[in-house]
Each structure stands twice: as structure tokens, then as C-alpha cells.
């Protein structure tokens, strides 16, 4: 179009720059060549996938205009927390409570694996709260690899509650008969340092 001494260009008001006009447009898409809709897709999730990974589905995005190829759809993966396992990369952590007696005398426990099975873990005598036991290759599959991470069983020593009078007496007898330096070296050394600090 011309405006005074200036020539200006703008898209055609009839075809909006498409270069053609559809005289009898489809009632469903109104001549756009595509229409809104939804469909369900089955997405294959690879083993070992982690939160934040993008899975690309080629050609499943929005339709292209003027016959162009459709775009892609990106699925962002988010891993839900598990009731028993905490994940750190390909490794798994499982918190297991054990009794005070088992921690002191030793024993064995059965823990679940991520596949749904069970494995026996030996608890040595003198196990301390927070000690970890490694189960090799019992973790998650490493993403895009055939190898696996490890599983760690971390024990927490549960202190008994609601003791009976007899149970309290037995524990008092045990406490009186135990030699702190031999049976409880951490406590013995700590209070030894405290005494030295206060005496100085």
C-alpha cells in the first residue's frame, strides 16, 4: 500500500499472508488443517531413570501449520518418594530399627529389596546406632547402563519404652555389673576428657 511518498507492506487481509484462500472450509477445523483434541499415549520408561529426565516423543506435539510436520512432545519424569527406600543416584538406603539387645549381642534381620524379595543381613555384636551395611548390586539399575548400584542398610537402635519393674531392675543390675571402659569406651573416654577439662 502507498501512503504519501512511502510504500508500505502488510499481510493480505483476506488470506493473512498464506497465499491462498479456502473457499469452502471444513466445518470441523474451519480451514486450519488441524483441530484441538486429546489422546492417550503409552510411554516406555527406561530402567534407572531419575527425576528431571526428559523423554522425547517424536511427532506427538502440536500439529504443524500449512501441512508442516507436527512438533515433539517432551515428558518430564518425576520419581515419587518410597515408603521404605531413599534413593541417592543408583544407590538405595533403607533405615531399619533393631532392638538394644540385638545391637549389643548381635543377630540377623531380613530386609526387603527393591525387586520385592528379601535378603538376610548379619548384625555383629556391638553394632552402634547409624552403622551401615552394604549389599552389593542390590540398588537401582544405573540409567542407560546394565550395572547396578548398591543398597545400604542403616540401623537405628530402638530404646525400649514402658518397661516393667522387673525389666528395670534387670537393666540396673546389668548397668552396675558392666565395666564402662570395656563395655562403653565412647562414654568412658568422653567423661574422662570432661574430668580432665574441669580439673585443668
The whole-angstrom separation of Cα 138 and Cα 153 is: 11
Span of 36-45, 120-129, 150-159 with lowest mean pLDDT: 36-45
Of 63 and 154, more confident: 154
3-state secondary structure of 145: coil
* 91-141 pLDDT, tens digit each: 999 999 999 999 999 999 999 999 899 999 999 999 999 999 999 999 999
Residue 55 half-sphere exposure, CB side, CA atoms within 13 Å?
Answer: 16
User: How much is the CA Rg of the chain, to the nearest whole Å?
Assistant: 34
Helix (H) or strand (E) holding 157: strand 151-158
Domains of the chain in sequence order: 45-80 (no CATH), 82-162 (2.60.260.20)
Helix (H) or strand (E) holding 111: strand 107-112
List the grid coordinates of 134: 552394604
pTM score of the predicted model: 0.72
Q: How many residues are recorded in the chain?
A: 200
Span of 38-42, 83-87, 165-169, 185-189 with lowest mean pLDDT: 185-189
Spell out the residues 6+ positions from residue 57 whose beta carbon is closer than 8 angstroms to its own.
Answer: 41, 43, 72, 73, 74, 75
The whole-angstrom separation of Cα 47 and Cα 138 is: 14
pLDDT of residue 93: 97
Residue 42 CA, distance from chain mean position? 22
Burial of 139 per CB tally in 10 Å (0-12, 13-18, 19+): buried
List the grid coordinates of 150: 548398591
Of 46 and 25, more confident: 46
User: Mean pLDDT: which of 9-18, 27-36, 48-57, 61-70 is highest?
Assistant: 48-57
3-state secondary structure of 65: helix
Amino acid at each position: 500500500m502507498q501512503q504519501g511518498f512511502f510504500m508500505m507492506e502488510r499481510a493480505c487481509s483476506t488470506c493473512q499472508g498464506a497465499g491462498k484462500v479456502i473457499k469452502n472450509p471444513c466445518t470441523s477445523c474451519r480451514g486450519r488443517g488441524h483441530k484441538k483434541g486429546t489422546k492417550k499415549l503409552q510411554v516406555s520408561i527406561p530402567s534407572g531413570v531419575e527425576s528431571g529426565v526428559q523423554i522425547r516423543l517424536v511427532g506427538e506435539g502440536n500439529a504443524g501449520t500449512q501441512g508442516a510436520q507436527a512438533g515433539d512432545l517432551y515428558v518430564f519424569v518425576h520419581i515419587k518418594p518410597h515408603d521404605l527406600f531413599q534413593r541417592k543416584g543408583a544407590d538405595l538406603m533403607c533405615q531399619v530399627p533393631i532392638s538394644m539387645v540385638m545391637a549389643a549381642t548381635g543377630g540377623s534381620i531380613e530386609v526387603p529389596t527393591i525387586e520385592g524379595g528379601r535378603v538376610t543381613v548379619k548384625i555383629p555384636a556391638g553394632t552402634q546406632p547409624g552403622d551401615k551395611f552394604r549389599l552389593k548390586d542390590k540398588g537401582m539399575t544405573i540409567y542407560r547402563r546394565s550395572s547396578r548400584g548398591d543398597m545400604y542398610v542403616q540401623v537405628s537402635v530402638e530404646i525400649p519404652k514402658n518397661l516393667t519393674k522387673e525389666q528395670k531392675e534387670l537393666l540396673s543390675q546389668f548397668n552396675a555389673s558392666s565395666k564402662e571402659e570395656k563395655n562403653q569406651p565412647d562414654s568412658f573416654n568422653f567423661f574422662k576428657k570432661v574430668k580432665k577439662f574441669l580439673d585443668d
